[in-house]
Amino acid sequence: MPSTPNRRQFLSAVGAGLSLAAAASAQKTAAPLDVVRIGVVGVGSRGRGDLANFLKLEGVEVRAICDIVEDNAALAQKMVTDSGRPSPQIYSRGDNDYKRLCERDDLDLVFTATPWEWHTRICLEAMNSGKHAVSEVPIAVTLEECWELVETAEQTGRYCVQLENCNYDRVELMVLNMVRQNVLGELVHARCGYLHDLRAGKFSQRAGRKLWRLDHAIRRNGDLYPTHGLGPVAQCLNINRGNQFDHLVSIGSKTQGLHEYAVAEFGADSPQAKLYFALSDVVTSLIRTRAGQTVVLTHDTNTARPYSRDFTIQGSKGIVEKYPEARVYLDGRSPQHEWENLIAKYADQYEHPLWRALEQQAQGSGHGGMDFVQTYRLVYCLRNGQPLDIDVYDGAALCAISELSERSIAQRSKTMDFPDFTRGQWINRAPLGIVTA
């Protein structure tokens, strides 16, 4: 059974002096890297997309590629050589061959884009081998994994980064810029989530040998994928940097969508139609922060619907909503009781400088350009010895929601307290500023 937040906080309190000293040392910025030498674990479609963005940047060498599917590894190897770089070594001797990759002494960073259950173990192996660890979302599935990542990052002094590309989308960056300029006033509420029809993907064999997304839907009932919606909201609310998630309650709807899809696609007597699914079609969590803001977070991946991250930031002087189109209402500036188009009316004034500088380079890079901007910032910070935008405490705070929501639903929407992964540091840590390219 994973450690409870209270137990872990008690253990932290017993050794508070040592824990805080270790945590403080982990926040020291790593020395700049003239060249970032990378090993990549997992090069299916998502991993190859990330690899393509790394290869667009100067000062990056891809030394090693690991994938259990040899054809995937060969495709990724060709991507590297086609970019004019030396051919990376391939590791394809089974599920655990990433360990051999991590043992290399010519890597600075190990990046993983594998199924979720492998993310933590690969990151731990990388950090314990002296490398920075970078992972696609989610970086952890359980609270215990969150704590393991935090403690290992502190002990080794290595970075452990969750790549949350939605933090770098155009509207989210623009809203962050507006928040930092106090355009929306005092923030009071946010709404966000991951609302994405994944029914076909959960039953598809194309992603690899196992239906791992479907397996999570069979076994778990909670917010399984909270970070895309909540990551940008957390930055606006200064989570882990002067503010914290304090507690949540979660509730789940009935489970219907995946069963109906299986019947329609495979037949009422098919093995797929006879599966039991634990995951609610819609999981809703209500979070309160230490500073008093509330956040409504939604997970909806089993129903027929258009895509949305339901991104909304509301302050005392205005509100921004991204879906179905980016719109804003500013007290005293917008026509009374009328929305305005955010991009058309305010992009000239509030476009984030990072997006303004990188928009042309980011075109065609995936997800509207935010994938490239994310990768650019990671490599830029590593090469220039600057603090990373998202650290291990941020990843842990976001991923903790999965198990907390599962526990809350299982206990009739009982309130769940968030662990303090920073052990008190959040009070004095500076918020992320408006960074530039």
CATH of the domain at 84: 3.40.50.720
Hey, is 330 helix, strand or coil? strand
For residue 289, the tally of other CB atoms under 10 A from its CB is 20
Position 17 pLDDT exceeds 90: no
Same domain, 154 and 24: yes
User: Average pLDDT for residues 339-359, to the nearest whole number?
Assistant: 98
The token pair that represents 392 in the structure block: 């291990």
pLDDT in tens, 268-324: 999 999 999 999 999 999 999 999 999 999 999 999 999 999 999 999 999 999 999
Give yes or no: residues 154 and 180 share one domain.
no
Beta-bridge partner residues of 44: none
pLDDT exceeds 50 at position 23: no
Q: What is the pLDDT of residue 14?
A: 38
Residue after which a domain boundary falls, among 149, 164, 179: 164
- Burial of residue 141, with CB atoms counted within 10 A of its CB: 0-12 exposed, 13-18 middle, 19 or more buried: buried
The confidence score (pLDDT) of residue 8 equals 53
Pick left, alpha or beta for residue 321 (phi over 0 → left; psi -120 to 50 → alpha; otherwise beta).
beta
Same domain, 210 and 346: yes
| 3-state helix vs strand vs coil in the chain, percent to 5 | 45, 20, 40
At which of 134, 164, 194 does a domain end?
164
Do 307 and 423 lie in one domain? The reply is yes
Q: Are residues 268 and 414 in the same domain?
A: yes
pLDDT digits (tens, 9 = 90+) for 196-211: 999 999 999 764 457 9
Strand order in the sheet with 340-341: 340-341, 327-330, 318-321, 312-315, 187-195, 294-300, 283-289, 245-252, 416-417
Distance CA 203, CA 112 (A): 23
- Measured distance CA(237)–CA(233) in Å, rounded: 6
194 in the same domain as 291 = yes
pLDDT of residue 19: 47
Q: What number is the average pLDDT over the span 234-241?
A: 98
Rounded Cα distance between 31 and 386, Å, is: 9
Residue 378 lies in a domain: no
Residues 80 and 112 in one domain: yes
Tell me whether residue 13 is in a domain: yes
Does residue 250 lie in a domain region?
Answer: yes
More confident residue, 7 or 73: 73
DSSP state of 308: B
106-165 pLDDT, tens digit each:
999 999 999 999 999 999 999 999 999 999 999 999 999 999 999 999 999 999 999 999
**Does residue 124 share a domain with residue 136?**
yes
Alpha helices in 15-44 (DSSP H): 16-26
Strand partners, 287: 248, 295
Q: 195 and 313: one domain? A: yes
The last residue of one of the domains, among 146, 164, 182, is: 164
Phi/psi region, residue 61 (left: phi>0; alpha: psi -120 to 50; beta: rest), is: beta
Tell me, what CATH number does 399's domain have? 3.30.360.10
**Does some domain include residue 370?**
no
Residue 362 lies in a domain: no
Tell me: do 285 and 413 sit in the same domain.
yes
69-80 per-position pLDDT tens digit: 999 999 999 999
Distance (Å, whole) CA 435 – CA 117: 32
| Closest by Cα among 425, 420, 398 to 233 | 398
Considering the domain architecture, whether residues 126 and 217 belong to the same structural domain is answered as no
Q: What is the pLDDT of residues 381-426, one digit of tens each?
A: 999 999 999 999 999 999 999 999 999 999 999 999 999 999 999 9
HEC states along 313-325? EEECCEEEECCCC
How many residues are given for the chain? 437
Among 48, 97, 50, CA closest to 77: 48
Report the predicted TM-score, pTM, of the whole model to 2 decimal places: 0.94
Q: What's the mean per-residue pLDDT of the chain?
A: 94
In a domain, 382, yes or no: no
Does some domain include residue 145?
Answer: yes
Q: Strands 60-66 and 89-91, how do they pair?
A: parallel
Per-residue HEC secondary structure of 187-212 comes to EEEEEEEEECCCHHHHHCCCCCCCCH
Both 249 and 287 in one domain: the answer is yes
In the chain, how many domains are there? Answer: 2
Residue 398 counted as domain residue: yes
Per the structure, the complete domain to which residue 138 belongs is given by: 5-164
Number of H helices, E strands in the chain: 16, 15
